[in-house]
């Protein structure tokens, strides 16, 4: 996936993960960062555990990115104190 695809999928995944997990949110840039990291995490887990090849902007990529972003948000919330990217 190109950089624009990662940002688009990251934006969608970060926004959806923020809605699913609730809380105050991280703002537009924070959601993109969380979404892109979640997309990377979700893509890596999907390729390792499910033998899926995640490429392009499609429903499968977005679902996997959202799952990765939710996992990443859950890990972030385990860190005590002020959260990174929190507004």
Total structural domains in the chain? 1
Whole-angstrom distance, CA of residue 13 vs CA of residue 51: 21
Rounded CA separation 45/26 (Å): 24
- Which tens digits make up the pLDDT trace of 19-71? 887 766 667 677 778 878 888 888 888 888 888 777 777 788 888 888 888 88
pTM for this entry: 0.75
Domain membership of residue 86 (yes or no) is no
Distance, in Å, from the CA atom of 57 to the CA atom of 6, rounded to the nearest integer, reads 8
Within-domain flag for 9 = yes
For residue 51, the enclosing domain spans 3-78
Report whether 54 contacts 60 (CB < 8 A): yes
- Cα(76)–Cα(84) distance, integer angstroms: 8
Given a cut of 80, whether residue 3 has pLDDT beyond it is no
């Amino acid at each position: 996936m190109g950089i624009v695809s990662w940002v688009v999928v990251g934006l969608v995944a970060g926004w959806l993960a923020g809605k699913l997990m609730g809380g105050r949110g991280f703002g537009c840039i924070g959601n993109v960062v969380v979404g892109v990291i979640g997309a990377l995490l979700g893509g890596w887990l999907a390729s390792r555990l499910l033998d899926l090849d995640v490429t392009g902007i499609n429903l499968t990529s977005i679902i996997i990115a959202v799952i990765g972003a939710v996992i990443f948000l859950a890990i972030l919330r385990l860190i005590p104190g002020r959260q990174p990217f929190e507004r």
